[in-house]
């Protein structure tokens, strides 16, 4: 492949769960690049056969014949642990084999050219990305290196890093990873030139996932994600499956035969139902027809749009429920939303559009950009912007503000969570906080980095830990023992925690990338909900931890004071006994109520006051 004169353009890639799309800035506009089949989106699908490896349409077209060796939905597994509950649920539904690889990473097992082979999810995604790179190169006519890749707003560090790794394997240099809703908003922001500040709702219903996000966009191109909600298992495939089940029931009624055990028949039915669903977006009825579906029987069934809507009613209702959650989380009423942007192929469904329009009291929905192309479109705008290929003032000024979905901090004395970066802080961001050593002469600090909203650190998600040693021996609280903690999240959402002993300058860092622990969107939602649910309990825990810390601090000060100040031997003995008693009680694990801790402290204060006044 030749190299481009004046440098190859940077491309934007929407790496989707079911379909991917690539776009580029060319001829003074964004162009969605068609693949070798002339399709503007490419199935995120990789197949292995006896003679070759297929990616995209070729892979999808042979899925019914070769389900065990056709890998799709890799995005559901990437950057997650195999033991993750969600992965386990997904794996059960996948027609191919997924196993636990080293380090609890999922691997898929296929037969390729007669041999069993294992691939990581990064490798599978890299094959899809390489295909998108190839599609772009064929269109542009030279080698492409730089790309902006989009990821769901709720992807955690590990999922982002794994996606980046997949791109590297594919020979791409990721100039920026941006959130999908942000990319869609950029696409419309550029197209429609919003004036002034706008609240924009991105309703993204794709093939396997549903994401609803609220962003604010100001007139100069600043994007801020206010809230995200959705369902990682809601999308076009659910609608297809309901149709498939309807057909299976019909077949059973008519022929008293069960299709559901026959993978090949089911696969053919699924493909036919997906096609039929698309037709129902512009026609009011469709016929699902398949020759020789099972035991020589031909299948034919008429499905109306009304029937399709009835079959999927619960899914559509769930979409509205998630939409309401997003508004509540963003602290907004539906009347505050200025623009509603449709993203994802499934937003072409008439019912989805009418329901949404009704919810927003008749508001016009933004759908001028193809819903399955808007994310790649925005990514290409960003790519051109970052690689300085655009001159438009508006695009040049483009700034992005995404947010951290959960608070980040470290565990401190009494198992408390000390937050450094608050939930919903726009990223990239960098925050520092100083911590003192809480024991005399302690020369190291074990830093446990947590993510979550709970007051007790151990109720949160442990991202990783590291120890910084070499702290000069000093009394607790001394400036010599100050360790500055810097939490930095880069534009790709990757966290680096750096600890620095201020008095010596020594530093140690932790980068949260390939950690053993990962959080799914579902888990994030659960953690935020739990924080709400356990608010009272957390408040109690906090008060108790603070009371304990205050009592410990008092004892510490008192011990120092009795060393420095003279008192009569009997008084000294009384104070020492009281200290010993309290310390023993504190370490006995019998500490129960806050009142009791406070009473112990008052008692100690009383005894010491008495001793010092004598």
Query: Minimum distance from CB of 56 to ligand AMP (Å)?
Result: 13
Query: Minimum distance from CB of 271 to ligand AMP (Å)?
Result: 10
Q: DSSP letters along 171-232, please?
A: T-EEEEEEEHHHHHHHHHHHHH---S-EEEEEEEE-SS-EEEEEEEE-TTSEEEEEEEEEET
Report the distance separating Cα 574 and Cα 579, nearest Å. 9
Report the distance separating Cα 378 and Cα 184, nearest Å. 5
Residue of 60, 75, 107, 164 with catalytic role: 75
Residue of 134, 180, 372, 571 with catalytic role: 180
Q: Which one of 172-180, 276-284, 309-317, 326-334 is the stretch in contact with ligand AMP (CB under 6 A)?
A: 276-284
- Residue 278 touches ligand AMP, criterion: CB under 6 A: yes
- Residue 60 touches ligand AMP, criterion: CB under 6 A: no
If the CB atoms of residues 235 and 378 are measured against ligand AMP, the closer one turns out to be 235
| Residue 50 annotated to the active site | no
Query: Minimum distance from CB of 48 to ligand AMP (Å)?
Result: 23
Q: Which one of 32-40, 341-349, 509-517, 535-543 is the stretch in contact with ligand AMP (CB under 6 A)?
A: 341-349
Residue of 14, 123, 339, 402 with catalytic role: 14
- Residue 346 touches ligand AMP, criterion: CB under 6 A: yes
- Residue 378 touches ligand AMP, criterion: CB under 6 A: no
- Residue 152 touches ligand AMP, criterion: CB under 6 A: no
- Residue 316 touches ligand AMP, criterion: CB under 6 A: no
Report the candidate in 393, 391, 341 with the shortest Cα–Cα distance to residue 369: 341
Report the distance separating Cα 223 and Cα 229, nearest Å. 17
| Residue 75 annotated to the active site | yes
Question: Residues 76, 277, 416, 456: which binds ligand AMP (CB under 6 A)?
Answer: 277
383's tokens: 């790519």
Beta carbons of 451 and 460 less than 8 angstroms apart: yes
Contacts of 255 (CB under 8 A, 6+ apart): 294, 297
Q: Which one of 224-232, 272-280, 318-326, 583-591 is the stretch in contact with ligand AMP (CB under 6 A)?
A: 272-280
Beta carbons of 8 and 133 less than 8 angstroms apart: no
Report the distance separating Cα 596 and Cα 583, nearest Å. 14
Q: Which of residues 538-557 bind ligand AMP (CB under 6 A)?
A: none
Report the candidate in 149, 156, 169, 177 with the shortest Cα–Cα distance to residue 16: 149
Question: Residues 67, 79, 206, 378: which binds ligand AMP (CB under 6 A)?
Answer: 206
φ/ψ of 509, rounded to 5, equals -130, 160
Q: Which of residues 39-58 bind ligand AMP (CB under 6 A)?
A: 41
Query: Minimum distance from CB of 305 to ligand AMP (Å)?
Result: 11
| Residue 372 annotated to the active site | no
- Residue 501 touches ligand AMP, criterion: CB under 6 A: no
Q: Please, what is the Cα angle at 232 between 227 and 235, to 5 degrees?
A: 110
If the CB atoms of residues 234 and 604 are measured against ligand AMP, the closer one turns out to be 234
| Residue 14 annotated to the active site | yes
Q: Which one of 13-21, 168-176, 361-369, 443-451 is the stretch in contact with ligand AMP (CB under 6 A)?
A: 13-21
Report the candidate in 159, 312, 320 with the shortest Cα–Cα distance to residue 230: 320
- Say if residue 226 is exposed, middle or buried (CB neighbours under 10 Å; 0-12, 13-18, 19+): buried
If the CB atoms of residues 268 and 456 are measured against ligand AMP, the closer one turns out to be 268
589's tokens: 């694990």
Report the distance separating Cα 210 and Cα 235, nearest Å. 6
3-state secondary structure of 254: helix
Question: Residues 9, 12, 18, 78: which binds ligand AMP (CB under 6 A)?
Answer: 18
- Helix ranges (H only) for 280-349 are 305-311, 313-329
Question: Residues 372, 459, 525, 571: which binds ligand AMP (CB under 6 A)?
Answer: 372
- Residue 236 touches ligand AMP, criterion: CB under 6 A: yes
| Residue found by looking up tokens 């027809």 in the block | 289
Query: Minimum distance from CB of 68 to ligand AMP (Å)?
Result: 22
Question: Residues 62, 192, 241, 281: which binds ligand AMP (CB under 6 A)?
Answer: 281
3-state secondary structure of 240: helix
φ/ψ of 263, rounded to 5, equals -60, -40
If the CB atoms of residues 112 and 278 are measured against ligand AMP, the closer one turns out to be 278
Q: Which one of 16-24, 107-115, 182-190, 573-581 is the stretch in contact with ligand AMP (CB under 6 A)?
A: 16-24
Residue whose CB is nearest to ligand AMP in the complex, by number: 236
- Residue 207 touches ligand AMP, criterion: CB under 6 A: yes
Query: Minimum distance from CB of 281 to ligand AMP (Å)?
Result: 3
Query: Minimum distance from CB of 235 to ligand AMP (Å)?
Result: 6
Q: Which one of 171-179, 187-195, 210-218, 338-346 is the stretch in contact with ligand AMP (CB under 6 A)?
A: 338-346
Report the distance separating Cα 86 and Cα 108, nearest Å. 16
Question: Residues 9, 106, 230, 345: which binds ligand AMP (CB under 6 A)?
Answer: 345
DSSP state of 76: G
If the CB atoms of residues 275 and 565 are measured against ligand AMP, the closer one turns out to be 275
Tally Cβ neighbours within 10 Å of residue 406: 22
Buried-state track 571-602, b at ≥16 Cβ within 10 A, e below 16? beebbeebbeebeeebeeeebeebeebeebbe
Question: Residues 9, 19, 91, 226: which binds ligand AMP (CB under 6 A)?
Answer: 19
Residue of 137, 165, 204, 240 with catalytic role: 204
Site for ligand AMP, rule CB under 6 A: 16, 18-19, 41, 206-207, 235-237, 274, 277-278, 281, 344-346, 348-349, 372
Active site residues: 14, 75, 180, 204
């Amino acid at each position: 492949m030749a190299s481009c004169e004046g440098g190859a353009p940077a491309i934007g890639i929407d790496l989707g769960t079911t379909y991917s799309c690539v776009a580029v800035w060319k001829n003074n506009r964004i162009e969605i690049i068609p693949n070798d089949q002339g399709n503007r989106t490419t199935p995120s699908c990789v197949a292995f056969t006896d003679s070759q490896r297929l990616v995209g349409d070729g892979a999808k077209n042979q899925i019914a014949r070769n389900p065990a060796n056709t890998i799709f939905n890799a995005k559901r597994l990437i950057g997650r642990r195999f033991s993750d509950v969600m992965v386990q649920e997904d794996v059960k539904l996948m027609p191919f084999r997924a196993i636990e690889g080293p380090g609890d990473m999922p691997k898929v097992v296929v037969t390729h050219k007669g041999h069993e082979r294992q691939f990581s999810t990064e490798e599978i995604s890299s094959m899809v990305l390489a295909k998108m790179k190839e599609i772009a190169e064929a269109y542009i006519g030279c080698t492409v290196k730089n790309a902006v890749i989009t990821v769901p707003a709720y992807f955690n560090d590990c999922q982002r890093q794994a996606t980046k790794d997949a791109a590297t394997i594919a020979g791409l240099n990721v100039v920026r990873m941006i959130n999908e809703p942000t990319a869609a908003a950029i696409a419309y922001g550029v197209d429609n030139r919003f004036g002034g500040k706008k609240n924009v709702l991105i309703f993204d219903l794709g093939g396997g996932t549903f994401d609803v996000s609220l962003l604010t966009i100001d007139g100069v191109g600043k994007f801020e994600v206010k809230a995200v909600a959705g369902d990682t298992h809601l999308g076009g495939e659910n609608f297809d499956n309901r149709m498939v089940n309807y057909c299976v029931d019909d077949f059973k009624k008519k022929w008293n035969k069960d299709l559901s055990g026959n993978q090949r028949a089911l696969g053919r039915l699924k493909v036919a139902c997906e096609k039929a669903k698309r037709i129902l977006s512009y026609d009011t009825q469709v016929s699902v027809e398949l020759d020789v579906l099972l035991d020589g029987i031909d299948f034919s069934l008429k499905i109306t749009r009304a029937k399709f809507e009835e079959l999927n009613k619960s899914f559509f209702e769930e979409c509205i429920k998630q939409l309401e959650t997003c508004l509540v989380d963003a602290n907004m009423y539906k009347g505050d939303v200025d623009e509603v942007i449709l993203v994802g192929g499934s937003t072409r469904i008439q019912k989805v559009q009418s329901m949404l329009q009704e919810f927003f009291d008749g508001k016009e929905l933004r759908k001028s950009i193809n819903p399955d192309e808007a994310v790649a479109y925005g990514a290409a705008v960003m790519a051109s912007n970052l690689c300085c290929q655009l001159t438009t003032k508006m695009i040049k000024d483009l700034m992005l503000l995404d947010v951290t979905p959960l608070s980040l901090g470290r565990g401190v004395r009494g198992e408390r969570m000390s937050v450094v970066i608050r939930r919903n802080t726009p990223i990239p961001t960098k925050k520092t906080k100083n911590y003192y050593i809480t024991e005399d002469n302690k020369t190291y600090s074990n830093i446990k980095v947590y993510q979550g909203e709970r007051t007790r650190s151990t109720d949160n998600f442990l991202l990783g830990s590291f120890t910084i040693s070499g702290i000069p021996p000093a009394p607790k609280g001394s400036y010599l023992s100050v360790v500055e903690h810097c939490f930095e999240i880069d534009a790709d959402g990757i966290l680096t925690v750096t600890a620095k002993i201020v008095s010596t300058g020594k530093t140690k860092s932790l980068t949260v990338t390939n950690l053993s622990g990962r959080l799914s969107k579902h888990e994030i939602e659960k953690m935020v909900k739990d924080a709400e649910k356990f608010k009272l309990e957390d408040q109690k825990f906090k008060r108790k931890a603070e009371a304990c810390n205050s009592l410990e601090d008092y004892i510490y000060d008192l011990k120092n004071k009795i060393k420095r100040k003279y008192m009569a031997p009997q008084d000294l003995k009384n104070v020492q006994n009281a200290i010993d008693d309290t310390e023993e009680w504190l370490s006995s694990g019998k500490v129960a109520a806050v009142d009791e801790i406070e009473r112990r402290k008052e008692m100690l204060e009383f005894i010491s006051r008495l001793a010092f006044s004598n």
